[in-house]
Amino acid sequence: MLATRLFAGSRLAFQPLSTRAFSSSPTNANLKLAYDFYEAEKPDAKKDPIVFIHGLFGSRKNNRSMSKVFARDLNRPVYAIDLRNHGESPHDPRHDYTALAEDVEGFLQEHKIERPALIGHSMGAKTVMAVALRGKVKISSLIPVDNAPVDAALKSDFGKYIQAMRKIEDANIQKQSEADAILAEFEPNIGVRQFLLTNLARGKDGIQRFRIPVKYLASALDNMADFPFKDPEEARWEGPTLFVRGTKSHYVADETLPIVGRFFPTFKVADVDSGHWVISEKPQEFRDAVVDFLQDAE
């Protein structure tokens, strides 16, 4: 359930909109990020675009349906991007929030995207917070989803997922059902397994392999628990900010809210009755929170 103290509900309907897939050119040393572009039905230059960023082991495809909804309901263009080492974006052994933020900044500069609303889930949440606090580009609104600007250990599940992926790759399997059987030893939730298995692709030899560089991401798990900013006195972003958190998740616990407020003094919180996978678990509530917040910010 969405926190009614902040928002009112409405029905969610997914309808097709025109979508274009692109790759961006790198700016400076930033990587070339793959992305999809969702056009607003009635383009309005006065409305800020949205840049939508996935979480660890995800991709822009995870946000396809919601990107269409935002383009339609908010009448804003939406860019859904793949961060480095995810989806169709390049692989690089460096994977930390400073590098991820630099990639996003380069993407915005290359495409002349001015004052976007940044939405990011999990790893994407810390990435958009880092972009805001770095102050290298101008943004209009910030929506971190189920993560906080603190150093906090990842759930042990992520380490298990890495183990499962390595076991799948070592098995040289040819059927996704075989990969799912291995993954089921580590993760009972079929929805989470299906999410992870979207990273599998069949090679010319018929073997299923992961698109993501499992070795690089395994080495980066400690970086994903970290946050590059430690002192709110040295970095602060005072623009409109909405933290959407799952009430069954521990990533934005009540005790983190004072530090959230020091980094982002105008922040609001929308509580959704879900676990960490807020967007896929409760799409209607997530949509309502974001649409209401961005409409109020216009």
Please provide residue 197's backbone torsions phi and psi, each rounded to the nearest 5 degrees.
-75, -10
- CB distance 11 to 284 below 8 Å: yes
In 3D space, the residue among 256, 244, 252 whose CA is nearest the CA of residue 282 turns out to be 244
Instruction: Report residue 118 as tokens.
Output: 């940044």
Element (DSSP H or E) covering residue 23: strand 19-23
Residue 218, φ and ψ in degrees, nearest 5: -60, -40
Active site positions, annotated: 122, 276
Q: Are strands 141-145 and 78-81 parallel, antiparallel or unpaired?
A: unpaired
Q: Which of 199, 163, 203, 201 is nearest to 183 (CA)?
A: 163
> CB–CB of 19/38 below 8 Å?
yes
CA distance 105 to 53: 13
Residue that has been written with the tokens 């009540």 in this structure: 254
Interhelix angle 64-73/283-297, rounded to 10 degrees, is: 40
45 phi, psi to nearest 5 deg = -60, -20
Q: How many CB atoms lie within 10 A of CB 205?
A: 8
Distance CA 4, CA 191 (A): 27
Quick one: tokens of 120?
């990011």
